[in-house]
Amino acid sequence: MTIPIEYYLALSAFMFLVGVTGVLIRRNAIVVFMSIELMLNSANLTLVAFSSYLGNSVGQIFVFFVMTVAAAEAAVGLAIIIALFRNKLTLNIDEINILKW
């Protein structure tokens, strides 16, 4: 472990912000959702890096739970997207704006 932890953290921060950018600029609801998955994974990298450098496994256990949550979110989120698609025949979230003001 000759690599300073800052490198891992910076890498994680970068990918996190790539994920954020994806959420902000993509129009396809599924891709937006995938960008959120990318954010979660980057956060996982932070947790694993800390866990490993601190020498305790708490961070990795937390990652385990984040994965569980991600799986659950994926199931529910994709179900919601499918339900919406059946009604509106679009995944473009710019067109999903009946509720406003």
Smallest gap from Cβ 20 to another protein, in A, equals 5
| 3-state SS, one letter per residue, for the chain | CCCCHHHHHHHHHHHHHHHHHHHHHCCEHHHHHHHHHHHHHHHHHHHHHHHHHHCCCHHHHHHHHHHHHHHHHHHHHHHHHHHHHHHHCCCECCCCCCCCC
Smallest gap from Cβ 1 to another protein, in A, equals 6
Smallest gap from Cβ 88 to another protein, in A, equals 6
